[in-house]
Amino acid sequence: MKKDLIKEARRYVDNAEKTLRENGRYNKELNLYEDDKYVRVAGHYLWHSVLLALDAVFQVRKDRRTRVDVNDYYAAVSKRDKKLLALVNSSYNVMHLSMDYDGTSEKNVCNAGFRLANDIINRCALMVS
């Protein structure tokens, strides 16, 4: 089950990448995505991938149907891995706030979101093994 969550998290990252690649309309000259709708969708996918990876390691969500506050994740992660906590903190700001809510179209911000998501998933995969 836990390894399935890691696999599912990686699938969400792939979906985010595919969404931006196929629909994002990247402007090379400006280093921006022209349609922030797809940046928002990609940010949402990336943030969800992080939550899935965290669910694989930490027992924050007791039932898949319940809503968990992000502070519950912070509390669980801070007890076990301070470096992972720093990554989760950054990913919340980049993926959830900047990409998803704000729709930041800057490619460098999007690249940071993908890097953070992959770093968190890889770190969680090591903890699950």
Kindly state the DSSP code that residue 58 receives in the 8-state scheme. Answer: S
85 close to 110: Cβ distance less than 8 angstroms: no
CA nearest 123: which of 96, 99, 90?
90
The pLDDT tens digits of the residues spanning 12-27 come to: 999 999 999 999 899 9
- In terms of phi and psi (left: phi > 0; alpha: psi -120 to 50; beta: otherwise), the region of 26 is beta
pLDDT band at 1 (very low <50, low <70, confident <90, very high): low
Residue 32: φ, ψ to 5°: -135, 150
Q: Is 85 exposed, middle or buried (0-12, 13-18, 19+ CB in 10 A)?
A: middle
- At the second CATH level, the architecture of 2-128 is Up-down Bundle (1.20)
Place of tokens 């930041």: 104
Alpha carbons 88 and 29: distance in angstroms, whole number: 31
pTM score: 0.92
Express each pLDDT in 26-71 by its tens digit. Answer: 999 999 999 999 999 999 999 999 999 999 999 887 776 777 889 9
Both tokens of residue 97?
């706030």
